[in-house]
Each structure stands twice: as C-alpha cells, then as structure tokens.
C-alpha cells in the first residue's frame, strides 16, 4: 500500500483543469503533497485561484514560480525538463510521485488502485499510459502522465537541457528525408530522447532496433490504458471523454516523414485489468479515427472555415447551371458574402 504520495502539476496555467485536479486530489488523495510548477507570469494567478479553492489548504500545496528557458528545445522538451526538475528538487525523495500536465485530469483513486493491484509488475518501472505510447516509433512511451518512485522520475528527467534547438532538429530531419532516410528518427523525438537516456542511466544498452525498442518498453515501463484511470486532456474533445489511442497518417512538420501513427494497447506490454474493456475501447477508437471524426474536434474545428469551404464549393457547382451572362454579378455577390463571413 502506497501512503506517501506527491503530485506534480506542471505547465502554463489552465485554470479550469487545475481546479478539477485540485478538487480530485482533495477527494481522492487527502494527504497528498501537491507541487504546482508553472511560469512566473502564471504563478500569481495560481495563488489567487488557490485562495478561492476552499477544499485545499496552503500546507498541502507549493507553487513554484519558474523562469522560462532560453532554448525550448525540440517540441518544448527543455520546457518540460525545466518545470519537472524544479518540482523534483522540492519534493520528498521518499514519496511516490504522480506527474500530470496542467491541461490533464485523471482519476487518482483508479490509478492508485491499479498501482496496488499490479504492485509486483510495476516495481522499479516507470508508469505511463497507452496514449500516446507510440507503436510506430522506437523507444517512445507517452510523457503525458508519468508515475513512480522518486528515483525513477529523477532518472527519467536529465539534469541538463538538450542543446539542440527546435530548428536544429527540423533541419536535420529534413536532410535525412532528402537523403531517402525513412526510419529510425527516434533520436529526435522528445519522448524517445528522454526514454533512451533513462534506459542508459539504468545501465542498459540501446541496440537501435524495433525488437529492442519493444523489449526495453516491457522491461522499464508499465503501461495503463487511459480509460482505466479516466485520463482526460483539454486538447482531446475538451476533456469530455478519456483520451483514445490514435490511428491515422500524419506528417509532424513540413518536409518531414509521413508517419502511420498508432499507439500500443497496454496488453501489448503488460497485464491489464480487463481485456474485454480494452477491446471495446480500441474498437471505439478505430471508428473515431478511421471515419475522420477527429477532424471535428470542437477545440480546433472552425465552423466559420467549414461553412466558407462548403459555400465556395456550392457556389462553384451552381455556376455550371446558370447562364454565363450572370456569372460576373454572382461572383461579385459571392465575394461580398465571403468576406462578410470571413
């Protein structure tokens, strides 16, 4: 049974999700120590929010006011290292740590129940979720939710920042693509960099192969399906439902490789509470992504742009059925409507 628990909440302020997390921690982890690691511009806002939150007392929470980094790194890897390291420096080294981003929520009761049920499997491993532990990339566990003993999290996050800038890596990958290099980009992805450093720090050897990647994940990571702990993310349907593992083609950046992106199931790597439940959610996920429903994510979907595209298409089709003498007038009217909506 784990009793000494610390929770790290890090990132730019997301007031609604921070409040949800604090309320959940109050209800589910009464004696947990909470470290909120954020930027100086947000720290005062966090303190104001805490004064309004009656459930929690200041003794349970420490707010860290951090400077931003000069070099954010590839996809902000140095920003994550900066905020998490600041929290690790302020935390009880004997505690079990749960790390969540500011724009995420989880059910802490369900997480700790799984930690206790699978304690022998989890011992000495980094706990993460299947979303987004990538099966198409080597050495790529998710870094959204992480949990484990202090030493595990301390080994996972390097003390020093990565020197490469975001543009450095983009240019390097662009050159690799031009030279027909089509795989093994794991040295550049933030999650893979963190994980391979973690494996090496533990005295293991990276053998640079798909088989070794799978073996290292099974050896050093315990994966929990997102729905088993109700992991929700603001960027996924505004956090209305648990995050689903994705399946689609993507090109992460211009002139980079197109990836057939998909995630592991937890049962691919370790035991799970229910394979039937896992199978059901995987089916739902495939329907959601295969049908293209993810394009209508309310956080990113622009109804204005959608209506403009539909209107333009309908206008182009209508011109085929209207005499050419009226085309100029219709185009003038169409432009006025277009820019009025835009």
Report DSSP letters for 81-100, one per residue: HHHHHHHHHTS-TTSEEEEE
Asked if residues 234 and 105 have their Cβ atoms less than 8 Å apart, the reply is: no
- The pLDDT, as a whole number, for residue 338 is 61
Which regions in the chain score pLDDT beneath 70? 1, 54-58, 181-184, 253-257, 293-311, 314-315, 319, 326-327, 330-331, 334, 336-342
Name the nearest CA neighbour of 177 among 257, 265, 120, 234: 257
- The pLDDT, as a whole number, for residue 99 is 97
What CATH topology corresponds to 5-294?
Spore Coat Polysaccharide Biosynthesis Protein SpsA; Chain A (3.90.550)
What's the whole-number average pLDDT of the chain? 86
Percent of the chain with pLDDT over 70: 85
- The pLDDT, as a whole number, for residue 189 is 85
pTM of the model: 0.83
- The pLDDT, as a whole number, for residue 325 is 74
185 Cβ contact partners less than 8 Å away, ≥ 6 residues apart: 137, 173, 176, 257
Q: What is the pLDDT of residues 256-295, one digit of tens each?
A: 667 788 899 999 999 999 999 999 999 998 888 887 766 6
Helix (H) or strand (E) holding 56: none
Report DSSP letters for 235-286, one per residue: TTGGGSS-----EEEE-SSTTS--EEEEB--GGGTS--S-HHHHHHHHHHHH
Provide the β-strand partners of residue 250. Answer: 259
Q: Encoding tokens for residue 59? A: 């003794």
C-alpha–C-alpha distance, residues 290 and 118, integer Å: 33
- The pLDDT, as a whole number, for residue 241 is 87
224 Cβ contact partners less than 8 Å away, ≥ 6 residues apart: 111, 114, 127, 128, 129, 130, 266, 272
Supply angle C-alpha 339, 341, 342, rounded to 5. 60
Q: C-alpha 275: how far from its chain's center?
A: 24
- The pLDDT, as a whole number, for residue 323 is 75
CA dihedral over 101, 103, 108, 110, signed as positive or negative: negative
- The pLDDT, as a whole number, for residue 40 is 93
Residue 91 preceded by cis peptide, ω within 30: no
């Amino acid at each position: 049974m784990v009793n000494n628990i610390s929770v790290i909440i890090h990132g730019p302020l997301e007031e609604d999700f921070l409040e949800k997390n604090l309320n959940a921690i109050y209800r589910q982890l009464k004696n947990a120590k909470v470290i909120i690691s954020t930027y100086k511009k947000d720290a005062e806002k966090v303190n104001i929010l805490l004064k309004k939150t009656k459930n929690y007392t200041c003794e349970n929470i420490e707010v860290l006011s951090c400077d931003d980094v000069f070099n954010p790194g590839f996809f902000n890897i140095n920003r994550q290292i900066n905020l998490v390291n600041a929290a690790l420096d302020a935390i009880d080294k004997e505690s079990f740590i749960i790390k969540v981003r500011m724009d995420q929520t989880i059910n802490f009761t369900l997480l700790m129940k799984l930690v206790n049920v699978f304690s022998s499997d989890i011992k000495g491993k980094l706990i993460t979720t299947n979303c987004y532990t990538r099966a198409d990339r080597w050495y790529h566990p998710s870094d959204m939710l992480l949990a484990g003993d202090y030493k595990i999290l301390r080994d996972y996050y390097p003390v020093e920042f990565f020197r490469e800038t975001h543009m450095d890596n983009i240019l390097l990958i662009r050159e690799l693509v031009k030279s027909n290099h089509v795989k093994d980009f794991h040295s550049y992805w933030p999650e893979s960099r963190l994980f391979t450093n973690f494996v090496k720090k533990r005295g293991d050897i990276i053998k640079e192969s798909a088989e070794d990647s799978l073996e290292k994940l099974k050896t050093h990571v315990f994966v929990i399906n997102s729905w088993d702990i109700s992991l929700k993310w603001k960027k996924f349907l505004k956090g209305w439902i648990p995050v689903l593992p994705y399946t689609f083609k993507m090109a992460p950046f211009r002139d980079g490789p197109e990836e057939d992106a998909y995630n592991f199931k937890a049962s691919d790597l370790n035991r799970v509470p229910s394979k039937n439940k896992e199978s059901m959610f995987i089916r739902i996920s495939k329907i959601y992504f295969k049908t293209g429903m993810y394009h209508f994510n309310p956080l990113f979907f622009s109804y204005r742009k959608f209506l403009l595209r539909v209107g333009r298409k309908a206008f182009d089709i209508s011109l085929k059925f209207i005499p050419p003498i009226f085309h100029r007038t219709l185009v003038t009217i169409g432009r006025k409507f277009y820019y009025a909506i835009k």
